[in-house]
C-alpha cells in the first residue's frame, strides 16, 4: 500500500473513533427572533425545557431567492463574548427541496417531523409551526467542542448587506453542547 492510502485509512479510522467517543448532547437554552412586518403577520420563537417552538403567519408567499446566513459561534469565556467558527449563506429553497443529504438538509428533515413546513417553493402565505423539537445528538457535528454556542440565522432576499437586501427574519439561539 502506498503512503497516501495508509494516511487515508488512518485518517478515516481516527475520524470514525472520534464519532464513537465524542458523543454529545445539544441543549437549547434561550432564543429570540426579529421579523419583517412586510413578510409576517406574526412570528414567535420560544424555548422551554430544551425544546424549541416556533409559530408564524406569513403575509406573502415565500418564493425562490430567500437566502439564510447561518453563523455558528462559540463562547471562549463562559458566555461573555462569542467567536465565529463558521458561517454559510444558503439558498433556503434549494436546501428544503434537495434530495442530496447534508447537515442542513438533515436538520430540516428532522424539523418536518414536528412541524408543517413545505418541502418546495413557492410556499403559500399561511400559518406554519414547529412544536416540540429537540436537536437529536446524531445531528450535531462531531467536530464541535463542548461549550456554549450562539447560532444565528439571518434570512433575506437580494444581496447581503447591500441596499438591495430585503430583510425577512432573524433568529438567535443559545445552546450548550455537553460531552456525555
9-51 pLDDT per residue, tens: 333 333 333 333 344 788 999 999 999 999 999 999 999 999 9
Q: Which of 54, 23, 28, 62 is nearest to 179 (CA)?
A: 23
- 111 φ, ψ (degrees, to nearest 5): -65, -30
Domains, the chain, in order of start with CATH, read: 25-179 (2.70.220)
* Per-residue pLDDT at 109: 82
* Per-residue pLDDT at 79: 66
107-165 pLDDT per residue, tens: 878 888 999 988 889 999 999 999 999 987 777 878 888 999 999 999 999 999 999 99
| Residue 155 CB partners (closer than 8 Å, separation 6+) | 66, 67, 68, 92, 168, 169, 170, 171
| Residue 13 CB partners (closer than 8 Å, separation 6+) | none
- 11 φ, ψ (degrees, to nearest 5): -65, -45
Q: Which of 108, 133, 168 is nearest to 53 (CA)?
A: 133
Q: Which of 63, 65, 46 is nearest to 54 (CA)?
A: 46
Radius of gyration from C-alpha coordinates of the chain: 18
118-132 pLDDT per residue, tens: 888 999 999 999 999
Neighbours of 30 (CB within 10 A): 12
Q: What is the pTM assigned to this prediction?
A: 0.82
Evaluate whether 41 touches 169 at the Cβ level (below 8 Å).
no
Amino acid at each position: 500500500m502506498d503512503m497516501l492510502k495508509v494516511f487515508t485509512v488512518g485518517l478515516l479510522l481516527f475520524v470514525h473513533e472520534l464519532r464513537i467517543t465524542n458523543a454529545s448532547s445539544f441543549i437549547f437554552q434561550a432564543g429570540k427572533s426579529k421579523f419583517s412586518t412586510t413578510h409576517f403577520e406574526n412570528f414567535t420563537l420560544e424555548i422551554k425545557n430544551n425544546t424549541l417552538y416556533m409559530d408564524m403567519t406569513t403575509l406573502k408567499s415565500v418564493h425562490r431567492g430567500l437566502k439564510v446566513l447561518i453563523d455558528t459561534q462559540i463562547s471562549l469565556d463562559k458566555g461573555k463574548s462569542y467567536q465565529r467558527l463558521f458561517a454559510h449563506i444558503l439558498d433556503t429553497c434549494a436546501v428544503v427541496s434537495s434530495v442530496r443529504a447534508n447537515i442542513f438538509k438533515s436538520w430540516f428533515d428532522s424539523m418536518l417531523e414536528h412541524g408543517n413546513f413545505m418541502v418546495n417553493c413557492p410556499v403559500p402565505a399561511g400559518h406554519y409551526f414547529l412544536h416540540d423539537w429537540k436537536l437529536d445528538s446524531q445531528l450535531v457535528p462531531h467536530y464541535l467542542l463542548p461549550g456554549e454556542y450562539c447560532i444565528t440565522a439571518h434570512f433575506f432576499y437580494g444581496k447581503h448587506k447591500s441596499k438591495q437586501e430585503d430583510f425577512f427574519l432573524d433568529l438567535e439561539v443559545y445552546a450548550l453542547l455537553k460531552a456525555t
